[in-house]
Amino acid sequence: MNYAEIELDREVRYAAFSFLTEQTNVYGEISHAVLLKGFQFNGQRVPLIGPQGIFKPKILPEIPISILTAPEVPGKPRPYDDRPVESGVMMYRYQGENPFRWDNVGLRKAMTAGTPLIYFFGLVQGTYKPIWPVFIKEDHPETLSFHVLVDEMQLAQNQEAWSLLPELNLRREYITAEVQRRLHQDLFRRRVLHAYHNSCSICRLRHPELLEAAHILEDKHPHGIPVVSNGLSMCAIHHKAFDSNILGIRPDYAVEIREDILNEIDGPMLRHGLQGFQGKIILLPRRIGERPDRNRLEERYSRFKTAG
Give the domain ranges of the chain: 3-182, 196-307
Q: How confident is the model at residue 164 (pLDDT cuts 50, 70, 90)?
A: low
What's the CA gap between 221 and 297, in Å, rounded? 13
213, 192 Cβ separation under 8 angstroms: yes
Q: How confident is the model at residue 158 (pLDDT cuts 50, 70, 90)?
A: low
What's the CA gap between 31 and 306, in Å, rounded? 44
Q: What is the DSSP string of 229-267?
A: GGEEEEEHHHHHHHHTTSEEE-TTSBEEE-HHHHT----
Is the pLDDT higher at 180 or at 20?
A: 20
* Residue 88 DSSP one-character state: T
Write the CA distances from 220 to 10, 175, 224, 226, integer angstroms: 43, 22, 6, 11
183, 129 Cβ separation under 8 angstroms: yes
CA-atom Rg of the chain in angstroms: 23
User: Does pLDDT of 3 surpass 90?
Assistant: no
Q: What is the pLDDT of residues 86-105, one digit of tens each?
A: 667 899 999 999 999 999 99
What's the CA gap between 73 and 69, in Å, rounded? 12
Average pLDDT, the chain: 89
Q: What is the pLDDT of residue 185?
A: 87
3-182 carries CATH number 3.40.50: no
Q: What is the pLDDT of residues 206-257, one digit of tens each?
A: 999 999 999 999 988 999 888 999 999 999 999 999 999 999 999 999 999 9
pTM: 0.77
- What are residue 123's phi and psi, to 5 degrees? -90, -60
Q: Which of 281, 288, 297, 304 is nearest to 231 (CA)?
A: 297
120, 130 Cβ separation under 8 angstroms: yes
Q: What is the pLDDT of residues 265-290, one digit of tens each?
A: 887 889 889 999 999 999 999 999 99
